[in-house]
Amino acid sequence: MKLNIALLPGDGIGPEVTAQAVKVLNAIATEFDHIFNFKRGLVGGAAIKKTGSPLPDETIKIAKEADAILFGAIGERKYDLDPNAKIRPEQGLLGIRKLLDLYGNIRPIIAYDDLLNKSSLKKRQIKDTNFVIYRELTSGIYFGDKTLSEDGNTASDICKYSRFEIERVAHMAFKAAQSRKRKLTLVDKANVLESSRLWRRVVQELAPKYPNVKVEYLYIDNATMQLIINPRQFDVILTENMFGDILSEEASVIVGSIGLLASASIGDKHAMFEPIHGAYTKAINKGIANPIASILSAAMLLDHFGLDDEAALVRKGVDKSIKLQITTPDLNTKYDNISTSKVGDFIEDFINNPEETNLN
Ligand code: IPM
């Protein structure tokens, strides 16, 4: 298969981790006779520095023309500390999501047996956790009208959803549930928010179309607690944009490191693959950034094109690196010198030679 992949490394540790994902995809291309062409674009703080815009036209063009996008990370500390900044790196990421209509964000949360002791939660609570969050990604409070009064003392962000926006991501989530454990949990705040009541109504109306899927409803406040107390109860969580952002970050506590969590952002015409972690600017060029989230995002890219054996091999490589503790310091206790690129090299070697790869 020939794929043109837009490579948008972005800020912070984005370039380091995506370099490992590219390494892994190149190994897959060689092993399985595919052609993966990468075209690089600037986004976020890196793009502001060079062009003044967090999402230059050239990047939009590259992203639109590609079969898929591999995204790194976004954000810079100086903007985090400046609430008055009019242009912000995050506008690059949000802009791509919106322009390419990437409405369904899929975030799998799987607890590795070998990492149960890395979580601050009890092993028996988290063992066998395997659920996926379907987060609506192009609407809600992130994209509703924003206002700031002239005197700067009053501000608002509108959380607005249309039936259409809810339906399309809900269908995605229901379908996913059908091919998993057939349970869907809608997380909302329908006891307070009108937009949440629309979510509930729409999901209740769609449910009969998926009679083999059990539907449950949870308020976001309860969901944040349930996720910690009993994460095994979940199969597919469906939720709006901001609740999904918060829940998925919380879920990283279960797996032991946010550096493990990958995501796919899917629309009808485009697809983007990105780790859920941020730019982690403190770690830039120290070789300590965990590339596994980016590598697993590349595996989700392979899934998207039906390259199942290829994706499975990448995941096996990740499993082996975790098993042998060839991982960065966020996870590692056995070795103290495993860098970002060493993890990438290991998984690359594994793909080239799955039977023989060990720590060398
Ligand atoms: C994420 C991130 C982004 C979000 C930020 C960087 C804008 O936290 O992908 O989860 O809030 O969606």
For the chain, 360 residues long, the average pLDDT of each consecutive 10-residue run is 98 98 98 98 97 98 98 94 94 98 98 95 96 98 97 98 98 98 98 98 98 98 97 98 97 96 98 97 95 98 98 98 95 87 97 74
Q: Give the span between the Cα atoms of 129 and 111, in whole angstroms.
A: 5
CB atoms within 10 A of CB 108: 18
Complex ipTM: 0.98
304: nearest Cα among 332, 273, 347: 273
Check if 74 has its Cβ closer than 6 Å to any atom of ligand 1: yes
Ligand 1 binding pocket includes 245 (Cβ within 6 Å): yes
- Distance (Å) from CA 160 to ligand 1 centroid: 18
Q: How far apart are CA 310 and CA 276, in angstroms?
A: 22
For residue 130, the cross-strand partners are 110
Q: Which of 8, 90, 98 to mutate to test the pocket of ligand 1 (most atoms within 8 A of CB)?
A: 90
Instruction: Specify the residue for token string 């919380």.
Output: 250
Other CB atoms within a 10 A radius of the CB of residue 208 amount to 8
Q: Is 76 in the pocket of ligand 1 (CB under 6 A)?
A: no
Cβ(90) – ligand 1 distance below 6 Å: yes
Nearest CA to ligand 1 atom 12: 245
Distance 351 CA to ligand 1 centre (A): 31
Structural domains of the chain in order of their starting residue, each with its CATH number? 1-102+267-360 (3.40.718.10), 108-260 (3.40.718.10)
Q: How far is the CA of 245 from the centre of ligand 1 (A)?
A: 6
Q: Is the pTM of this model over 0.80?
A: yes
Ligand 1 atom at shortest distance from the alpha carbon of 274: 9
CA of 33 to the centre of ligand 1 (A): 35
Residue from 258, 242, 249, 15 nearest 138 by CA: 242
Q: Let me know how long the chain is.
A: 360
Q: What is the pLDDT of residue 360?
A: 46
Report residue 322 CA to chain centroid gap: 20
Reduced to 3 states, what is the DSSP secondary structure of residue 129?
Answer: coil
Q: Tokens 């309860």 sit at which residue?
A: 222
How far is it, in rounded angstroms, from Cα 170 to Cα 164?
10
Write down the pLDDT at residue 357. 61
Tokens of 156: 């608002």
Q: Which residue's alpha carbon is at the smallest distance from atom 9 of ligand 1?
A: 276
Per-residue model confidence (pLDDT) at position 358? 57
Ligand 1 centroid – CA 258 distance (Å): 13
pLDDT at 187: 98
* Residues with Cβ within 8 Å of residue 299, at least 6 apart in sequence: 262, 311, 314, 315, 318
Atom of ligand 1 nearest to the CA of 90: 7
How many angstroms does the Cα of residue 334 sit away from the middle of ligand 1?
A: 32
Question: What is residue 334's predicted lDDT score, i.e. its pLDDT?
Answer: 83
Does residue 278's CB lie within 6 angstroms of at least one atom of ligand 1?
yes
Burial of 311 (0-12, 13-18, 19+ CB in 10 A): buried
For residue 73, the surrounding DSSP H or E stretch is strand 68-73
